[in-house]
Amino acid sequence: MANEQLKSPDADAKNHSSIILRDGYDTETGVPGKGCSPDNGVHFYVYFTSAGLMLHQKDAKMISNNLTFEKLRFKSPNGTAFYLSVSDDGKPVFTPVEKGDESS
């Protein structure tokens, strides 16, 4: 069985199997952790590692296509924090984060 190649289940397979939150190694990076597989282990995506949450490029695409942000917070090299938002005409707007407003 160790030499047996994993195969993705056929679209018509009645026993299609997904793997959800099991221990394994990410097929792209080799990182160990808890993850999921949509195709019976052919591709395994780790999402939880001992270092925290692990995201993949496909997650970034899903987030950018489905979520809208009113503002993002960035920190400059000297430690000053700014909010980045967009004006009605599409121009970037940088606003300094006020003291006591760091939780937003």
DSSP assignment of 47-103: EEETTEE---HHHHHHHHHH---S-EEEE-TTS-EEEEEE-TTS-EEEEEPPTT-TT
Query: What's this model's pTM, rounded to 2 decimal places?
Result: 0.57
| Residue position matching structure tokens 């395994």 | 44
What residues make up the domain containing 83? 68-104
Which residues, 6 or more positions from 57, have their beta carbon under 8 angstroms from its beta carbon?
A: none
Same domain? For 95 and 75 the reply is yes
Question: Average pLDDT in the 2-11 region?
Answer: 57
Instruction: Please check whether residue 25 lies inside any domain of the structure.
Output: yes
Of 102 and 87, the one with more pLDDT:
87
Same domain? For 96 and 57 the reply is no
Please report the pLDDT score of residue 93 as a whole number.
96
Same domain? For 49 and 82 the reply is no
Please report the pLDDT score of residue 1 as a whole number.
44
pLDDT band for 99, please (50, 70, 90 cuts): confident
For the cut 80, the answer to whether the pLDDT of residue 15 exceeds it is no
Instruction: Please check whether residue 9 lies inside any domain of the structure.
Output: no
Question: Quick one: what percent of the chain has pLDDT higher than 90?
Answer: 59
Same domain? For 81 and 102 the reply is yes
Please tell me the total count of domains within the chain: 2
Please report the pLDDT score of residue 98 as a whole number.
87
Instruction: Please check whether residue 79 lies inside any domain of the structure.
Output: yes
Instruction: Encode burial over 18-37: b for 16+ CB neighbours within 10 A, e otherwise.
Output: ebeeeebebeeeeeebebeb
Instruction: Please check whether residue 7 lies inside any domain of the structure.
Output: no
Same domain? For 75 and 39 the reply is no
